Structure 1
């Protein structure tokens, strides 16, 4: 397995989930999607299985047995190793302590907002705000459901952070659109 699989953002999600209790990859996939882990990393089945394989090869997780439910195939249950726990703590400590600039597609696009012209910019910002409002509402419902199901808040704190980012972006979109409408954000002639 290539070393770059260990650089996938999904590594933290898997190690963090296995910190709670051992699980098989399908359970990891289900739990991460349910809890909103797909906000922190793109989660698809193939990528998850590649990451699990890389983590096992690195000695960060290890098989702890198998289980079978009904007619489903036998599934290998993995647990976090001491080495994996140490790596999780090391990575988390560095990522939480050190802010890094993260360049999103939106940041790249908004850098050229002027190309849309004032009316086009306001229309695009308003459409984004509408879509973001819908996503915020869906994310709030999903977070409330997960918490109501008994998942500890600490295990979904990233969903709160993502909501805070979305709310801040929504406020910014509105303020920039207001500035354009008021003429205080001007376009070169």
Structure 2
């Protein structure tokens, strides 16, 4: 597994995965990436596209094959992927698929602070998330159904996201049910803490962990 890459911005991976089809200029790369919704698959800063292309060229992953000027438009440089670029694309993709990495989604961050809410407030927030997830899942299923003419190989990331969202929805529903039924462990102490401001002894013990005093 390669742990350090000469160009580590994920936009570089998207560029390589686009240019592998045929030579093109950066403006065309951006248009195709937007059209294919790649900014939904990975964090992309469009303003860094030209820098990424230059860095890929600097390290031998892309090479210039032509420069064209159409009318009064600025000159456009055409790039193609090199053998080294193809090898980088394949190795990088293999690494991302094969190697789990810690990810820090916003939902996990919110859950880590759930105690800041009352049980009822937490339940309301979960209901809102359920509604949003149901809407997103329905929209994504409709979108996939509308792409029946596209080979599944090129939609596999959407199928993955849909499966993850469905699993998240099931988990959130279960958590909401436990809060609603008052079967969540320690819920009474949690509720009392917000009602009285008195920190339960078990919470105080947790707060003392890691203290340097």
User: Structure 2 length normalisation: TM-score?
Assistant: 0.74
Task: Provide the secondary structure at the position in 2 that maps to 1:20.
Answer: coil
Q: 1:68 to 1:121 in 2, by over 3 A?
A: farther
Q: What's the counterpart of residue 126 of structure 1?
A: 127
Structure-1 separation of matches of 2:94 and 2:5? 20
Structure-1 separation of matches of 2:167 and 2:125? 17
Structure-2 separation of matches of 1:185 and 1:96? 36
Q: What's the counterpart of residue 58 of structure 2?
A: 57
Structure-2 separation of matches of 1:151 and 1:56? 31
Structure-1 separation of matches of 2:134 and 2:70? 40
In structure 2, runs of 5+ residues without a counterpart are 193-213
Correspondence 1:22-61 to 2 at 5 A: 22-61=23-62
**TM-superposed deviation, 1:71:** 6.1
In structure 1, runs of 5+ residues without a counterpart are none
Task: Provide the secondary structure at the position in 2 that maps to 1:77.
Answer: strand
Q: What's the counterpart of residue 181 of structure 1?
A: 180
Q: Is the 8 A contact 1:9 1:40 kept in 2?
A: no
Q: Is the 8 A contact 1:35 1:156 kept in 2?
A: no
Q: What's the counterpart of residue 86 of structure 1?
A: 87
Structure-1 separation of matches of 2:70 and 2:128? 46
Q: CA RMSD in A?
A: 2.6
Structure-1 separation of matches of 2:65 and 2:152? 27
Q: Deviations over 1:133-188 (max 9, x none)?
A: 3333343444455x35x554323322222222222222222121111111121423
Q: Give the number of equivalent residue pairs.
A: 185
Task: Provide the secondary structure at the position in 1 that maps to 2:155.
Answer: helix
Q: Is the 8 A contact 2:127 2:176 kept in 1?
A: yes
Structure-1 separation of matches of 2:150 and 2:65? 23
**TM-superposed deviation, 1:90:** 1.5
Q: Deviations over 1:61-94 (max 9, x none)?
A: 1123245667654432222110011111121222
- Greater helix fraction, Structure 1 or Structure 2: 1
Q: Is the 8 A contact 1:36 1:156 kept in 2?
A: no
Structure-1 separation of matches of 2:6 and 2:34? 20
Task: Provide the secondary structure at the position in 2 that maps to 1:162.
Answer: helix
RCO comparison, higher one (Cα < 8 Å, 6+): 1
Q: What's the counterpart of residue 136 of structure 1?
A: 137
User: Structure 1 length normalisation: TM-score?
Assistant: 0.82
Q: Which has the larger radius of gyration?
A: 2
